[in-house]
Amino acid sequence: MAVAIVGAGFSGAVVARELAEAGVNVEVFETRDHIGGNCFTERHECGTIVHVYGPHIFHTADQRVFDYISQFGEFVPFEHRVHATAGGRVYSLPINLLTVNQVFGTTFTPSEAEAFLASQSVPKGERTDLEAHGRSMLGDVLYELFFDGYTTKQWGSAPSELPASVLQRLPVRFNYDSSYFSHPIQAMPRLGYTPIFEQLLDHPRIDLHLNTAIDAAGLAGFDHAFWSGPVDAYFGYSLGRLRYRTLDFEEEVHDGDYQGCSVMNQTDLDVPFTRVTEFNYFTPWEHHDRTVIYREFSRDCGENDIPYYPLRLNEDGELLGRYLEAADQEPGVTFLGRLGTYRYLDMDVCIGEALDVAAEFLKKV
Ligand code: UDP
C-alpha cells in the first residue's frame, strides 16, 4: 500500500509516524526546505533558539497528547506570561486582578473586581461578535485598552465582524494568576521543536521529500493521501481563495536583555506591530550574552505568502462549506490540520486529531 502525506507540520508528521509504526510505507511531501511547518525552530548564530514563524508555546489538557509527543524529545515545564503596553503603560495580561487594579488604580479583592466588571458590562443583546462579547464581558475601558486595537491590527477587520470565539481563547481571572494559559500542562521543548520533528520523521518506513510541491493529480498513484496543506489549494482554488492572515517579522539582535519578558503585546492601534517576542525567555535554562527579538506585523495573506491564521468571516465560512462538500467527494483523501480544515487550531489539538485520524485509517486497512 502506498500512502502520501502532504505537509510536515505536526498533523502530517504525527500521521506519518503512526502509519509507519503500523507497518505502512509513507511518503511525506513538503514544499518548504524544512520540516515542522510553522513550528520550525532553529538556533540563531548567537545561540538562541528562534521560533522562525513566531512564538509557539505548548499547552494542553490532554495527557495522551503530551505523553505521545514527549516520546520524541524532552519538554521542560514552562509557564507563559505576557505583558501588554497600552496607552504608555505596561500591564499584566491576560486580564487578571493585577490588570484590573492597575488600570483603575484600585485595590479590589476578587469579589469586588468581579462585581465592578459586572457593573461595567455593556449588554450585547443578540450580538455574537467579538466586540459585543468583549464589551459585555469587560466593559468599555478594558475592552478598548487591550482588545480593540490589537484585534483590528491582528485580523485587519473590525472586531464587530469577527467571531467572539477568537477572544474566548483568553481567560479573565479575578486573582493574581497571570499565566497566559489555563491548561494544566504547559511546556517548551528543551532543544526547540525541530528536533521533535526530526525524531517523529526518523523511521525506515517514512520517505521525506523536502522542496517538493505536489497537487491532486500528483497524488493519483497513491492508495490514500493525507492533506495538511490549504484545503482550497488541493482543489486548485477552483471555487475561490479562502482568506488568511500572514505575519512578517522584523528581527533584531541586542546585547543582554531587551524587554525583560518573552512576549510584550502592543495593544494601541497606532503602533504598527502586534507584539515583540524575545526568544531567550523561552529557554530560561540556557544562557546567551546576546538576545534575539522578533517584532510581529500582521497583514492579509497574498498568493505567495505563508498562511498563518484562517480569517473565517461569514463569506469565508460559506466558501469553506463548499470546499468541505468537495472534500467529502474525495474518499481517497483525508484533510487535516489548521490549513487542511481551515480552523484556528493549537498544536495540541493538531496532534490529538492526527492521532485519531491515523487510528481511524489503520482500522480500515
Ligand atoms: N488579543 C487582543 N489583545 C491582546 C492579546 C490578544 O486583542 O493583547 C485578541 C486578538 O484578537 C487575538 C486573540 O485575542 O487574535 C487571541 O490571542 P492569542 O494570544 O491566543 O493569539 P495567537 O498567539 O494565536 O496569535
Is 126 marked active-site?
no
Mutate which of 95, 150, 294 to test ligand 1's pocket (most atoms within 8 Å of Cβ)? 150
pLDDT at 137 over 90: yes
Q: Quote the pLDDT of residue 119.
A: 98
In this prediction the pTM is 0.97
How close is the Cα of 50 to the center of ligand 1, in Å? 20
Mean pLDDT of all residues in 141-151 = 98
Is 17 marked active-site?
no
How close is the Cα of 329 to the center of ligand 1, in Å? 35
Read off φ and ψ for residue 150, nearest 5 degrees: -60, -45
Q: Quote the pLDDT of residue 299.
A: 98
Mean pLDDT of all residues in 262-287 = 98
Catalytic residue among 296, 312, 323, 348: 296
Residues 235 and 347: beta-carbon distance below 8 Å: no
Question: Inter-axis angle of helices 130-142 and 97-104, to 10 degrees?
Answer: 50
Mean pLDDT of all residues in 44-50 = 98
Ligand 1 close to Cβ of residue 86 (< 6 A): no
Is 207 marked active-site?
no
Residues 108 and 142: beta-carbon distance below 8 Å: no
Q: Quote the pLDDT of residue 23.
A: 98
Q: Quote the pLDDT of residue 83.
A: 98
For residue 55, give the ligand 1 atom closest to its CA. Answer: 23
Percent share of the chain, pLDDT over 70:
100
Ligand 1 close to Cβ of residue 154 (< 6 A): yes
Ligand 1 close to Cβ of residue 15 (< 6 A): no
Domain 2-77+185-239+312-363, CATH: 3.40.50.720
Query: 127-136, 181-190, 249-258, 312-321 — which is least confidently predicted?
Result: 312-321
How close is the Cα of 154 to the center of ligand 1, in Å? 8
Average predicted confidence (pLDDT) for the chain: 97
pLDDT at 214 over 90: yes
Percent share of the chain, pLDDT over 90:
99
Q: CB atoms < 10 A from the CB of 240, how many?
A: 14
Mean pLDDT of all residues in 263-275 = 98
Catalytic residue among 64, 89, 169, 299: 169
DSSP 30-42: -SSSSSSGGG-EE
In the chain, CATH 3.40.50.720 covers: 2-77+185-239+312-363
pLDDT tens for each residue of 60-110 = 999 999 999 999 999 999 999 999 999 999 999 999 999 999 999 999 999
Ligand 1 close to Cβ of residue 92 (< 6 A): no
For residue 275, give the ligand 1 atom closest to its CA. Answer: 8
Alpha-helical (H) ranges within the chain are 10-21, 63-70, 97-104, 110-120, 130-142, 149-155, 194-201, 231-234, 314-328, 337-340, 347-364
All 3 cell numbers of residue 210? 523536502
Taking the C-alpha atoms of 80, 250, 38 and 187 in order, what is their torsion angle to the nearest 10 degrees?
Answer: -20
pLDDT band at 16 (very low <50, low <70, confident <90, very high): very high
Mean pLDDT of all residues in 220-230 = 97
pLDDT tens for each residue of 19-38 = 999 999 999 999 999 999 99
How close is the Cα of 267 to the center of ligand 1, in Å? 10
pLDDT tens for each residue of 295-326 = 999 999 999 999 999 998 988 999 999 999 99
Mean pLDDT of all residues in 238-253 = 98
Q: Quote the pLDDT of residue 314.
A: 82
